[in-house]
Amino acid sequence: MENTNSNHYQPDEIDQIILQSLQADGRKSFSDLAKEMGMAVSTVSKRYMNLVDCGILTIVGRVEPERVGLNAYAAIQVQVDTVANVERVAQELLELPEVSFLALRTGDFQLEINVMCRDNTHLMDILRSQMDKISHVRKYEINMYLKVYKWGRTGVSVSVG
């Protein structure tokens, strides 16, 4: 393992095991990881820090939206007037605290956002007071999620190189 602190670092097999283990249980301690892998805690700790420093691993706290009063979850496709304005609109959308996801996409709508709101009234307030005021948005289309069966983490295992 060579710590390059760059975007070019490729995780090796040991890093892959650490990543897969943390995907399954992000709260697993370095001690538990080291015990499972038959390594020193300091080795696991150094590799973990390298993965974080290189931007391969990011730590987030996943909140269950419904348990904190966010009961209206919607996908909004956004059509921008010109390709030249897509980045500008994306930057404005990033400023909305309700936005949990933002992506450039193909098709008639160039951007897609997911928003988490307290209820439909909150969603309508965002549309009227914020979305409608963003320059260069030609139109948007909203799809409500009625029930989310899976949040966040994928089941895809990470791979080396």
With CA atoms as reference, report the closest residue to 80 among 108, 48, 101, 55.
Answer: 108
User: Does 160 map to a domain?
Assistant: no
Q: How confident is the model at residue 10 (pLDDT cuts 50, 70, 90)?
A: confident
Helices 30-37 and 41-53: angle between axes, nearest 10 degrees: 110
Listed as own residue / partner, the contacts of 142-149 with beta carbons closer than 8 Å and 24 or more positions apart are 142/74, 142/75, 142/76, 143/74, 143/75, 143/76, 143/77, 144/72, 144/73, 144/74, 145/73, 145/74, 145/75, 148/73
Read off the CATH number of the domain in which 51 is found: 1.10.10.10
Q: Answer yes or no: is pLDDT of 18 > 70.
A: yes
Contact assessment for residue 86 and residue 104, using Cβ atoms and an 8 Å cutoff? yes
Q: Six-digit token pair at 78?
A: 């956004």
pLDDT band at 26 (very low <50, low <70, confident <90, very high): confident
* Residue 14 resides in a domain: yes
Please name the residue ranges forming H helices in the chain.
Answer: 13-24, 30-37, 41-53, 86-94, 120-129
- Quote the pLDDT of residue 140: 96
- What pLDDT, in 10s, does the model give residues 142-156? 999 999 888 776 666
Radius of gyration of the chain (CA): 20
pLDDT band at 63 (very low <50, low <70, confident <90, very high): confident
Is the same domain home to 9 and 23?
A: yes
Same domain, yes or no: 31 and 91: no
Q: Which two tokens stand for residue 67?
A: 């348990």
2 with 49, same domain: the answer is: yes
Answer for the pair 105, 78: CB distance below 8 angstroms, yes or no. Answer: no
Residues 75 and 101 in one domain: yes
On whether both 46 and 98 belong to a single domain, the answer is no
Question: Between residues 60 and 97, which one has the greater pLDDT?
Answer: 97
Report yes or no on 34 lying in a domain.
yes
Q: Look at residues 44, 62, 80 and tell me which one is the last residue of a structural domain.
A: 62
Q: Tell me: the pLDDT tens digits for 82-114? A: 999 999 999 999 999 999 999 999 999 999 999
What pLDDT band is residue 1 in, cutting at 50, 70 and 90? low
Total domains in the chain come to 2
Residue 109 DSSP SS3? coil
DSSP state at residue 75: E
Q: Smallest Cα–Cα separation from 116: which of 131, 96, 141, 136? A: 96
CATH of the domain at 115: 3.30.70.920
pLDDT of 154: 61
Q: Kindly state whether residues 54 and 89 are assigned to the same domain.
A: no
Query: Residue 20 falls within a domain, yes or no?
Result: yes
pLDDT of residue 161: 56
